[in-house]
Chain A
Amino acid sequence: MSDGRINEQILNWIKINSKDDKIIEDFLKDLIYEEAEHTGQWKWKDNYRKKIKKCSDKWEKYI
Chain B
Amino acid sequence: MRIKKIILSNYRQFKDIEITFTKKCKSDLHVIIGKNGTGKTNILNALNWCLYYDEPHLSRNSQQLPLMNLQSVDEAEDGENKYVKVEVWVEITENRYVIFTRRVVYIIYKNEKNEKYPKKQHSEFEVKFTNEKGNTIIIQNEEADFYVERFVPKAIREFFFFDGERLDNYFKEATAERIRHTITLISQVDLLENKIERRLSGILKEFRKEAGKENPKINETRINLEENEDSFVSTEKLIKECKNQIDIAKKRIKGYEEKLREIPDIESLEEELNSLKISKKHEKETLYNKIEEKQDLLFEYGKNIILWPAIKNSMKIIEVKRKNKEIPPIIDKKLIEGILKNEVCICGRQLDDNSKKIVVDLLDEIKLSSDIVMQLVNMENPLYLIKEEIKEFRKKNYNLTLDIKNYNKILEGIEEKINQIDGKMSNFNSKKIKGWYEDRKNFEKIRDDNQKKLGIFEGRKNEISKNIVTLGGQLKKEIEKEKKITKIKKQIDFCTKSLDIVEKTKEIIREKTREKIESETNKIFFKLIWKKRTFKNIDINQDYNINLIHSMGYECLGTIGAAERELLALSFTLALHTISGFDSPILVDTPVARVSDEHRENLGKIFSKVSKNKQIILLFTPAEYSKEISKLLDTENSSRFNFKLSENEKETVLEMI
Which of A's residues lie within 8 Å of B, judged by CB?
1-7, 9-10, 13-14, 17-18, 21, 24, 27-28, 31-32, 35-37, 39-40, 44-45, 48-49, 52-53, 55-57, 59-60
Contacts and interface: CB of A to CB of B under 8 A. Distances in A.
Nearest to B513: A9
A6 B580 CA distance: 10
Contacts of A2: 150-151, 580-583
Contacts of A56: 487, 490-491, 493-494
Contact of A45 (B191, B199, B508): B199
B7 interface: no
Contacts of B192: 10, 32
A55 B512 contact: no
A24 B581 contact: no
List 3 A-B pairs, minimum CB-CB distance, nearest first. A56-B494, A1-B150, A7-B188
Interface stretch (B38-46, B407-415, B495-503): B495-503
Contacts of B299: none
A60 B490 contact: yes
Given A2-B580, A57-B490, 11 more contacts: A2-B150, A13-B504, A13-B505, A13-B508, A17-B501, A27-B498, A35-B195, A39-B146, A39-B149, A44-B199, A59-B490
Interface string B605-616: 000000000000
Nearest to B145: A39
A48 B199 contact: yes
A27 B504 CA distance: 16
Interface of B: 1, 90, 92, 98, 142, 145-151, 154, 187-189, 191-192, 195-196, 199-200, 202-203, 487, 490-491, 493-495, 497-498, 501-502, 504-505, 508-509, 512-513, 580-583
B501 A28 contact: yes
Contact of A52 (B494, B512, B580, B582): B494
Contacts of A4: 581
B495 A18 contact: no
Given A7-B187, A31-B196, A1 B1 contact: yes
Contacts of A37: 146
A9 B581 contact: no
A51 to B, nearest CB: 10
Given A7-B187, A27-B498, A60-B490, A32 B504 contact: no
Nearest to A18: B501
B326 to A, nearest CB: 126
A3 B93 CA distance: 12
15 contacts: A1-B90, A1-B147, A2-B583, A7-B188, A10-B505, A13-B504, A13-B505, A17-B505, A21-B497, A28-B196, A32-B191, A32-B196, A39-B142, A40-B142, A59-B490
Nearest to A25: B501
Contacts of B195: 35, 44
A20 B502 CA distance: 15
A35 B200 CA distance: 12
Interface centre among B146, B149, B188, B583 (most CB of A within 10 A): B188
Contacts of B151: 1-2
A28 B509 CA distance: 15
Contact of B509 (A1, A5, A10, A52): A10
B52 to A, nearest CB: 11
Nearest to B192: A10
